[in-house]
Amino acid sequence: MPTDVVMPQMGESIFEGTITRWLRQAGDPVRADEPLFEISTDKVDVEIPAPAAGVLSEILVPEGATATVNTVVARITAAGESAAPATKQPPAAAPNSARTVPPAAAPVPAPALTATRQPASIPPAHAATARPAAAVSAPVASSSPLRSSPLVRRIARERGVDLSRVRGTGSAGRITRDDLLAYLASPQSSSLEADAPPLVEERVPMARMRAMIAERMLASRRLSAHAHTVFRIDMTRIVRLREREKAAFEARHGVRLTYMPFVAAAAIAALRRYPILNASIDGDSIQYHGSVNLGIAVALDWGLIVPVVHAADRMSFAELAGAIADLAERARGKKLKPEEVAGGTFTLTNSGLFGEEFGTPILNQPESAILAIGGLKKAPVVLTDAEGSDTIAIRSVQHYCLGIDHRLIDGADAGRFMTEFKRQLEEWSAPIL
């Protein structure tokens, strides 16, 4: 008998999912537990593994279609088992269409996901390993269109990059954001892109995740009274500490030492002193949270996702660094669980990824505060010694922008929080090993 492949239950509150991509086609052999298709829910994008080995004999739900939990979306025939000729994949449904496939009459238990979360304290050594950089090459002549995400195409248009010169390392030669950034960082890119490609008139439908982001950002702006404050922070002490300890830290804990755990630890310390920034509005009441559930915004080729480090305030520095690296890596690999993108109380977002001074972030509802990290740069700074004498020195500085819901948090609260956050980083003395 063929094995039914069903839409899995991705959390108690999730009742349907949209198939965004089939990783195998009808007639292809499949191995048990290998990624078979990708789905998008209202909480997370994830790869779903094959429940058995054999041949993918039928695809019943096309890419772009939404199916309720336990709907049979495909069938796998065991090796050597006679079966009807493989059915071609149905035409893909338009993205964000309202088409929903009803569940099967006799639901089959959803296959368990094979991806398991590594302990937060010590993730696998390869978790933080960067992807191989894309090589710069001459334009590739091909009859098939270049595979890339809308984000990659937008960055390419803004930077005047001809994507035919970028070698993709993703599936089937797909050009990822890391490929494009590696290309932009290469010395050849500036000379190769002297003649920017012409603009292209095109209309493309929003992907499901992009549509959900658009809806939630607009809803957040309508709901909350957004206000922002910007602080410039001297990161020289942190830069020197990281440079001195990064090799030993990675050897001991199996994870690269980035700046994010320093920022996260400083934010947690400030939240302990000013818990109103870790609170949220619940009707006519203020809900103070007993833990800091720290959201870390991760930019993906296909959108933005905010995995959550739960109870981050009860972690050591090394555990915090490991948890952040683990969640970010699994977010890019579509291995997150729904509960790992829910329940946040405060969010960090790295708006300085492309070198900008700072960004003014939108609140991640129902949170009341979000902190945007600007680009780290060297700059001349006036230093005053104990006797009041001023000197000019070159320091590593960074701008941080705090976004708040002014319905709950006053400007004075925001200023006190940022002053403590700044002090934590500039006077850092805590051990990290």
Q: Dihedrals φ, ψ of 231, to 5°?
A: -120, 140
> 96 and 244 share a domain?
no
**Shortest CA distance to 297 belongs to which of 249, 367, 243, 357?**
367
**Which of the listed residues 174, 192, 210 is the one where a domain comes to its end?**
192
Separation of alpha carbons 131 and 136, rounded Å: 15
The DSSP letter of residue 377 is E
Number of structural domains in the chain:
3
Residues 82 and 135 in one domain: no
In the prediction, which pLDDT does 110 show?
A: 37
pLDDT at 101: 52
- Same domain? For 312 and 379 the reply is yes
The whole model's pTM is what? 0.66
Residues 81, 141: one domain? no
Residues 381 and 291 in one domain: yes
The DSSP line for 74-135 is: EEEEPTT---PPPPPPPPPPPTT---EEPPPSS--PPPPPS--PPPSSS--GGGGPPPPPPP
Residue 211 belongs to some domain of the structure: no
The residues that bridge with 404 in the sheet, in sequence order, are 227, 369
- Report the DSSP pairing between strands 346-349 and 294-296: parallel
Those residues whose C-beta lies under 8 Å from the C-beta of residue 320, and which sit 6 or more positions away, are: 261, 264, 265, 309, 312
Domain of 90 in residue numbering reads as 3-101
Rg (the chain; Cα; Å):
24
CATH number where 313 lies: 3.30.559.10
| Count of H-run helices and E-run strands, the chain | 8, 19
State how far the Cα of 284 lies from the Cα of 408, in Å rounded to an integer.
Answer: 11
Residue 78 lies in a domain: yes
**Length in residues, the chain:** 433
174 plus 51 within the same structural domain: no
Distance CA 266, CA 129 (A): 25
Closest CA to 21 of 149, 142, 146, 181: 149
Strand duo 45-49 + 35-40: pairing: antiparallel
Whether the CA torsion 287, 292, 293, 296 is positive or negative: it is positive
> Of 192, 209, 244, which closes a domain?
192
Name the strand (E) or helix (H) holding 262. Answer: helix 260-273
User: What sign for the dihedral angle of Cα 296, 362, 282, 420?
Assistant: positive
* Residue 59: strand pairing partners: 74
Q: Is residue 36 part of a domain?
A: yes
CA distance 355 to 401: 14
The amino acid occupying position 343 is G
- Looking at the structure, tell me whether residues 175 and 230 fall in a common domain: no
Active-site residue flag, 310: no
**Same domain, yes or no, for 232 and 323?**
yes
Per-residue pLDDT of the chain (433 residues; tens, 9 = 90+): 889 999 887 655 567 888 988 999 999 999 998 999 988 876 677 888 999 999 999 999 998 888 888 899 999 998 766 555 544 455 555 444 445 555 544 443 333 333 333 333 333 333 333 334 343 444 444 444 566 766 677 778 777 788 888 888 876 677 887 788 888 877 665 554 555 667 778 888 887 777 878 888 999 999 999 999 999 999 999 999 999 999 999 999 999 999 999 999 999 999 999 999 999 999 999 999 999 999 999 887 667 889 999 999 999 999 999 999 999 999 888 888 888 988 999 999 998 877 788 899 999 999 999 999 999 999 999 999 999 999 999 999 999 999 999 999 999 999 999 999 999 999 999 989 8
How far is residue 337's CA from residue 112's CA, in Å, rounded to a whole number? 12
Residue 342 maps to a domain: yes
- Domain check: are 277 and 139 in the same one? no
Per-residue confidence (pLDDT) for residue 195, from 0 to 100: 58
Whether 39 is in a domain gets the answer yes
pLDDT at 141: 41
**Residue 374 lies inside a defined structural domain of this protein:** yes
The CATH number assigned to the domain holding 153 equals 4.10.320.10
Residue 260 near residue 128, CB atoms below 8 Å: no
Q: Do β-strands 72-77 and 3-6 pair in parallel, antiparallel, or remain unpaired?
A: antiparallel
Q: Is the peptide bond before 102 cis (omega within 30 degrees of 0)?
A: no
β partners of residue 405? 226
What values do phi and psi take at 158, rounded to 5?
-65, -35
Q: What pLDDT score does 122 carry?
A: 33
Shared-domain flag, residues 241 and 380: yes
Query: CA-to-CA distance for 54 and 31, rounded, in angstroms?
Result: 7
Q: 138 pairs with which residues across the strands?
A: none
Q: Which residues contact 68 (CB under 8 A, 6 or more apart)?
A: 7, 15, 16, 100, 101, 102, 103
Residue 340 placed within a domain: yes
Which candidate in 226, 228, 289, 406 is catalytic? Answer: 406
DSSP letter at 10 equals -
**pLDDT number for residue 131:** 38
Same domain for 64 and 181, yes or no, is: no
Name, in order, each residue with C-beta under 8 angstroms of 106's C-beta and a sequence gap of 6 or more.
none
Q: Is 292 exposed, middle or buried (0-12, 13-18, 19+ CB in 10 A)?
A: buried
Tell me if 77 is assigned to some domain: yes
Q: Do 92 and 137 reside in the same domain of the chain?
A: no
What is the predicted pLDDT for the residue at 158?
A: 72
Q: In CATH, what number is assigned to the domain containing residue 31?
A: 2.40.50.100
Neighbours of 362 (CB within 10 A): 18
**How far is residue 280 from each of residues 174, 215, 218, 368, measured CA to CA in Å?**
41, 20, 19, 6
